[in-house]
């Protein structure tokens, strides 16, 4: 059906990949920053919020000094080369442009990689060319986890390379691609787990055939060695650093066996918000296809012939589906308290989130659908080409429409975290509110490096993005000593709220200013609005906050009774609404413990404010 030269095919695939990348991000190209972007682990963390840090540092070399803009510089930054090429754009472009460039490029590579993987899986059968193209396009439209987007989108290319090397077809270009991969991907998020499965599959075949594939083994060893180079920071922290990080005390939630199995089933059915697959849309289609395979053909007496014709695809389908189920099972079992106690007791290994095999689900699920669709497409193609094309077009259209309806730029993505579902997301402009924070900066009127701020009721990444120096922040790895220092600030709130205490003491990635009245509502907001945009008072250790350099609190909620130690300075209204999502209340931290004379002055100010309100 598709007879064309290799050069023309390569051009066609590259063209379709470009179309896919730009099509998915068309809203960003048209409307710029006035389009929503997912908040959880995107806008609240890396890499967009750290643009100032990137611009002030050397992209190619770390000088061993962490930036005081984030957590007052209390995170590990060793001297040595930088290998994370994904963040290259953020060093030379503004945050939005860098986000758009990396996201578009990642989707282009996702399409190309998935096509190469499926073509090799289909043994370059030209009849299934359109199936490979359709599934590749669908895969490239997934709402990937942006901080490590290349880690996910390059998984199909990694799998394809090892199929090439296993077949002994490796050329110079394949080795070059293999050596480049570690500079764009994070080893302990997905590649480590894919390579583990690849090695186990190879071990099975070795035990069965007693053959050693030198090219395959060389590629496997070489790739792991390069990853050890690019991940030198992890190994330095694990084996040589004297300063311990907060991850050594980090404890994930553990469950009993029944609840662990329940979590495994939920993961198989819904997926995970870090690697959303949105595969439930295919369930009804899958049921129909399975019915066609095992009922329709059996009743007609054609089951044996059907199986023989499609044996290879069906075997691969069931193997991949079973592997997908096993990954979900392990996801649940990894949280089983018995398994977790064993895992966390092993030095170094306990620092790795071992259940991240589920990061392979996008690759696995869309390989499952590709194999299933290929079988049905092949059957219909034998009957009539028009039926086959109609089936493939409808499948692609409905699936793509579903993915587009749940894209971040739609403002209504079907991405959940616990019982929180993201709805009515603010635009990028509204979230970071650069015009509003410029007013705050000008109102304070001091160089930003001369004071530190903390945020209340909104993510510290917003202040960080706008150039402020923050005591608070969200980082997956920072000094344990700072974790304990910051805890002294929020200790009064933690004592009043067990949920907040458990979260901070057992996980603690978010060094946030918290309050019992807010609870964790602003960690994973649903509508990013408060039912009541005020709290009665804020319970923090003011002495510790001031001693650590905190001079101002940037709050999204009004503190009705600020007390003696907080001086209300100004209110920055949510106007115009297209430029900000916030009404910001700015408070100055008053150091009563250092200047006792200020206490009487503050008492007089508060009495005067109350009289004015009564007269009003």
- Measured distance CA(142)–CA(37) in Å, rounded: 14
* Mean pLDDT of all residues in 390-416: 78
Contact between 223 and 194 under an 8 Å Cβ cutoff? The reply is no
Q: Specify the pLDDT at position 458.
A: 87
Contact between 144 and 99 under an 8 Å Cβ cutoff? The reply is no
Calculate the alpha carbon distances from 539 to 94, 437, 452 in Å. Answer: 37, 25, 19
Calculate the alpha carbon distances from 317 to 364, 366, 367, 372, 478 in Å. Answer: 10, 11, 8, 7, 43
Judged against a pLDDT cut of 80, whether residue 28 lies above it is answered with yes
Contact between 574 and 426 under an 8 Å Cβ cutoff? The reply is no
- Measured distance CA(409)–CA(96) in Å, rounded: 13
- Measured distance CA(421)–CA(419) in Å, rounded: 7
Question: 210 vs 251, which has greater pLDDT?
Answer: 210
Q: Residue 528: is the preceding peptide bond cis (ω within 30°)?
A: no
Lowest pLDDT segment from 221-225, 259-263, 392-396, 575-579: 575-579
Tokens of residue 606, six digits: 């508060």
- Measured distance CA(510)–CA(456) in Å, rounded: 13
- Grade residue 219 by pLDDT with cuts at 50, 70 and 90: very high
Judged against a pLDDT cut of 90, whether residue 224 lies above it is answered with yes
- Grade residue 417 by pLDDT with cuts at 50, 70 and 90: very low
- Grade residue 311 by pLDDT with cuts at 50, 70 and 90: confident
The proportion of the chain whose per-residue pLDDT surpasses 70, expressed as a percent, equals 83
Tokens of residue 231, six digits: 């991940």
- Measured distance CA(16)–CA(12) in Å, rounded: 6
- Measured distance CA(425)–CA(408) in Å, rounded: 8
Strands (E) in 1-120, as ranges, are 61-63, 79-81
Judged against a pLDDT cut of 60, whether residue 524 lies above it is answered with no
Judged against a pLDDT cut of 70, whether residue 615 lies above it is answered with no
Q: Specify the pLDDT at position 572.
A: 93
3-state secondary structure (DSSP) of residue 551: strand
Tokens of residue 578, six digits: 């297209």
Would residue 367 be called left, alpha or beta, if left means φ above 0 and alpha means ψ between -120 and 50 degrees?
A: alpha
Strands (E) in 410-533, as ranges, are 416-417, 420-421, 452-456, 473-474, 510-511
* Mean pLDDT of all residues in 437-449: 95
Burial of 169 (0-12, 13-18, 19+ CB in 10 A): exposed
Selection from 306, 308, 285, 284 nearest residue 295 by Cα? 306
Q: Specify the pLDDT at position 532.
A: 56
3-state secondary structure (DSSP) of residue 529: coil
Judged against a pLDDT cut of 60, whether residue 523 lies above it is answered with no
Contact between 199 and 220 under an 8 Å Cβ cutoff? The reply is yes
Q: Specify the pLDDT at position 616.
A: 44
Burial of 15 (0-12, 13-18, 19+ CB in 10 A): exposed
- Average pLDDT over the chain reads 83
- Measured distance CA(493)–CA(536) in Å, rounded: 13
- Grade residue 285 by pLDDT with cuts at 50, 70 and 90: low
35-89 pLDDT tens trace = 888 887 788 876 888 888 888 887 778 777 888 999 998 888 777 787 888 888 8
Calculate the alpha carbon distances from 248 to 59, 73, 255, 448, 494 in Å. Answer: 29, 19, 20, 33, 21
- Grade residue 588 by pLDDT with cuts at 50, 70 and 90: very high
Q: Specify the pLDDT at position 383.
A: 78
Q: Specify the pLDDT at position 301.
A: 47
- Grade residue 286 by pLDDT with cuts at 50, 70 and 90: low
Neighbours of 190 (CB within 10 A): 26
Q: Specify the pLDDT at position 353.
A: 80
Q: Specify the pLDDT at position 78.
A: 74
Q: Specify the pLDDT at position 399.
A: 83
- Measured distance CA(514)–CA(154) in Å, rounded: 38
- Measured distance CA(57)–CA(55) in Å, rounded: 6
Q: Specify the pLDDT at position 550.
A: 93
The proportion of the chain whose per-residue pLDDT surpasses 90, expressed as a percent, equals 36
* Mean pLDDT of all residues in 90-98: 89
Neighbours of 391 (CB within 10 A): 17
Contact between 560 and 535 under an 8 Å Cβ cutoff? The reply is yes
137-187 pLDDT tens trace = 999 999 888 888 999 999 999 999 999 999 889 899 999 999 999 999 999
454-496 pLDDT tens trace = 999 889 999 999 999 999 998 888 888 899 999 999 999 899 8
Tokens of residue 13, six digits: 């695939």
Tokens of residue 244, six digits: 């311990």
Q: Specify the pLDDT at position 522.
A: 57
Neighbours of 123 (CB within 10 A): 9
Strands 534-535, 566-572: parallel, antiparallel or unpaired by DSSP? Answer: unpaired
Judged against a pLDDT cut of 90, whether residue 109 lies above it is answered with yes
* Mean pLDDT of all residues in 98-106: 93
């Amino acid at each position: 059906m598709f007879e064309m030269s290799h050069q023309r095919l390569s051009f066609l695939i590259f063209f379709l990949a470009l179309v896919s990348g730009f099509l998915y991000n068309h809203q960003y190209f048209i409307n710029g920053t006035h389009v929503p972007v997912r908040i959880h682990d995107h806008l609240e963390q890396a890499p967009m919020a750290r643009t100032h840090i990137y611009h002030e540092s050397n992209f190619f070399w770390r000088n061993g000094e962490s930036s005081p803009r984030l957590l007052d510089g209390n995170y590990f930054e060793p001297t040595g080369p930088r290998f994370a090429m994904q963040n290259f754009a953020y060093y030379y472009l503004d945050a939005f442009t860098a986000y758009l460039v990396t996201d578009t490029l990642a989707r282009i590579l996702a399409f190309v990689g998935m096509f190469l993987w499926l073509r090799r899986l289909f043994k370059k059968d030209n009849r299934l060319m359109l199936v490979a193209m359709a599934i590749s396009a669908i895969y490239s439209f997934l709402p990937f986890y942006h901080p490590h987007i290349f880690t996910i989108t390059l998984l199909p290319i990694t799998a394809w390379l090892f199929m090439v090397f296993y077949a002994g077809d490796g050329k110079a270009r394949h080795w070059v691609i293999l050596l480049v991969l570690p500079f764009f991907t994070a080893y302990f998020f997905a590649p480590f787990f894919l390579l583990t499965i690849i090695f186990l599959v190879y071990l099975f075949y070795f035990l069965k055939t007693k053959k050693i594939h030198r090219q395959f083994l060389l590629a496997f060893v070489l790739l792991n060695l390069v990853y050890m180079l690019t991940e030198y920071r992890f190994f330095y922290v694990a084996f040589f650093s004297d300063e311990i990080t907060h991850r050594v005390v980090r404890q994930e939630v553990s469950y009993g066996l029944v609840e662990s199995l329940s979590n495994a089933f939920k993961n198989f059915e819904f997926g995970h918000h870090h690697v959303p697959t949105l595969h439930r849309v295919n369930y009804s289609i899958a049921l129909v296809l399975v019915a066609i395979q095992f009922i329709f053909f059996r009743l007609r007496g054609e089951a044996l012939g059907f199986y023989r014709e499609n044996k290879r695809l069906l075997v691969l389908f069931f193997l991949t589906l079973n592997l997908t189920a096993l990954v979900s099972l392990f996801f649940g079992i990894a949280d089983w308290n018995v398994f977790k106690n064993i895992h966390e007791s092993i030095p170094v290994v306990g620092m790795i989130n071992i259940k991240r095999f589920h990061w392979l689900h996008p690759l696995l699920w869309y390989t499952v659908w590709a194999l299933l669709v290929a079988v049905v497409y092949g059957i219909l193609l034998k009957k009539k080409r028009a039926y086959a094309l109609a089936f493939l077009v409808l499948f692609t259209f409905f699936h793509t429409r579903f993915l587009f309806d749940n894209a971040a730029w739609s403002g209504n993505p079907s991405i959940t975290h616990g019982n929180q579902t993201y709805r009515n997301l603010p635009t990028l402009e509204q979230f970071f509110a650069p015009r509003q924070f410029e007013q705050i900066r000008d109102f304070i009127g001091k160089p930003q490096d001369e004071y530190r701020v903390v945020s209340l009721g909104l993510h510290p990444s917003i202040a960080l993005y706008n150039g402020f120096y923050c005591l608070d922040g969200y980082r997956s790895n920072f000094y344990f000593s700072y974790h304990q220092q910051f805890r002294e600030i929020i200790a009064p709130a933690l004592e009043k709220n067990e949920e907040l205490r458990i979260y901070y003491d057992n996980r603690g990635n978010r060094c946030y200013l918290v309050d019992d009245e807010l609870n964790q509502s602003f960690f994973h907001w649903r509508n990013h609005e408060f039912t009541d945009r005020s709290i009665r008072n804020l319970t923090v250790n003011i002495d510790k906050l001031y001693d650590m350099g905190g001079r101002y609190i940037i709050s999204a909620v009004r503190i009705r009774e600020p007390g003696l130690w907080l001086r209300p300075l100004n209110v920055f209204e949510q106007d115009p609404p297209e430029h900000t999502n916030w009404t910001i209340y700015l408070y100055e931290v008053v150091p009563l413990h250092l200047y006792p004379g200020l206490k009487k002055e503050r008492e007089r100010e508060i009495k005067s404010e109350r009289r004015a309100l009564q007269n009003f």
